[in-house]
Amino acid sequence: MDLPGAISALSESHDLSGEEMQEVVSIVMRGEATPAQIGAFLTALHIKGETVVELVAAARVMRQFAAVVDIESAKV
């Protein structure tokens, strides 16, 4: 699913599947979305209300993109 399609679906109160949410969040995390698209997506998601499936899918993608920090060798 592309970002405009996700925004449209969310605006019509449709839930996204886990796969759809992962595709959309991947687009955002790769830097392929404009700030306006990100804002519209997050606003539509908030207004519709996030589902557990959507949140879990988003978290999985964000974890894939997260930087690994080696804290064992870091002096804290």
Low-confidence stretches of the chain (pLDDT < 50) are none
- CB atoms closer than 10 angstroms to residue 2: 14
pLDDT score recorded for residue 69? 81
What pLDDT was estimated at residue 71?
A: 78
pTM: 0.86
What CATH number belongs to 3-65?
1.20.970.10
Alpha helices by DSSP H, the chain: 3-11, 18-29, 35-48, 52-65
The domain ranges of the chain are 3-65
Give residue 76's pLDDT.
59
